[in-house]
Amino acid sequence: MRKVTFFVEPWVLKEPFIITGYTFTVTTVLVVHIEENGALGRGEATGVYYKGETAESMLKQAHSIKDRLEEGMDREELGKVLPAGGARNAIDCALWDLEAKLSGHSIWHLTGIKYEETTTVNTVSIAEPDEMAACARHLNTPSIKVKLNGEIPLERMRAVVHARPDADIVVDVNQGWSFDQLVDLAPQFKELGIKMIEQPLARGADAQLKAYNAPLPICADESCLHTGELDEAAERYSMINVKLDKTGGLTEALDLIKRAREKGLGVMVGNMTGTSLAMAPALVAAQLCDFADLDGALFLEKDRDHGMTYDGGKVGGLTRDLWG
């Protein structure tokens, strides 16, 4: 019989991380351990903050199925009894890890996905333009994601581009613009060489995108949580940001990527911050995506032992001691 244990862990950020409407100084995560026949599977989730998820709410949800997990629940059954979200993510990823350990095969073998060296964006959070430029200038990566809100977005963007004209830059607005702002700024951002704008409008207030002929790709994040929301998102966006906390784990994330590709959409894999234990399964999904945003562990004062490796914008180092 399995032994299942849940933990809530706070991980302090090096400095405040600022996006539209939120400032984060600590990431509190749910960690799941599933032990069976001497093998230990682990998973981690931060949850979907804008849906009201917290470590405590995820913990309560996870405890509601603890007995069934210990009796042998698999990933398919898990997807039927828990909704998409952080609790299911942590459990789903722990079950993948457990399967890898018990079978003696890596996650690459189990999924049939080939690993290749992966470039992750490094993120610049919201600050004064000169501060954002300085941050971008010191990032040792060819790919940058810039967080923006509705205040002086063009000034901030020009400062970052001037500081790093060599970088591939994407923008994440986290629902911070009006439609009129998007229409005004998108062509100017295209002229600056920006590759993509992520979630410019609020979730549930983006219907105008259906008739909008954007000059550069517009990516859904908050507006597409899981496969159940894909059809509507595909009418409004040309890309989807897949996050395991939103989908409820790697299992659903891989399905969402497959379905998005079938619709001709671009795909990005992202994160809600967290340790390398949360970034590891997302690295698997990253192999199937156009962009990867897996720098969450870099925001922490410290990471887990045997954490992911980050060097020059490359992320890797997925070992048995970490996950999968």
Catalytic machinery residues = 147, 243
For residue 314, which of 295, 288, 301 has the smallest C-alpha distance? 295
Q: Residues with Cβ < 8 Å from 193, sequence gap 6 or more?
A: 161, 165, 169
Phi, psi (deg, nearest 5) at residue 83: -75, 165
Fill in the amino acid letter for 322: L
Q: Residues with Cβ < 8 Å from 285, sequence gap 6 or more?
A: 242, 244, 250, 253, 254, 257, 269
Q: What is the 3-state secondary structure (H, E, C) of 19-39?
A: ECCEEEEEEEEEEEEEEECCE
Phi, psi (deg, nearest 5) at residue 207: -60, -30
**CB contact at 8 A, 219 and 199:** yes
Structure tokens at 90: 């942590």
Structure tokens at 230: 């894909």
Residue whose tokens read 């809100």:
149
- The CA distance from 19 to 28, in Å, is 17
Phi, psi (deg, nearest 5) at residue 150: -85, 0
- How many Cβ atoms are within 10 Å of 72's Cβ, its own excluded? 10
For residue 218, which of 244, 192, 190, 245 has the smallest C-alpha distance? 190
Q: For the chain, what is the largest distance between any 2 Cα atoms, rounded to a whole number of angstroms? A: 60
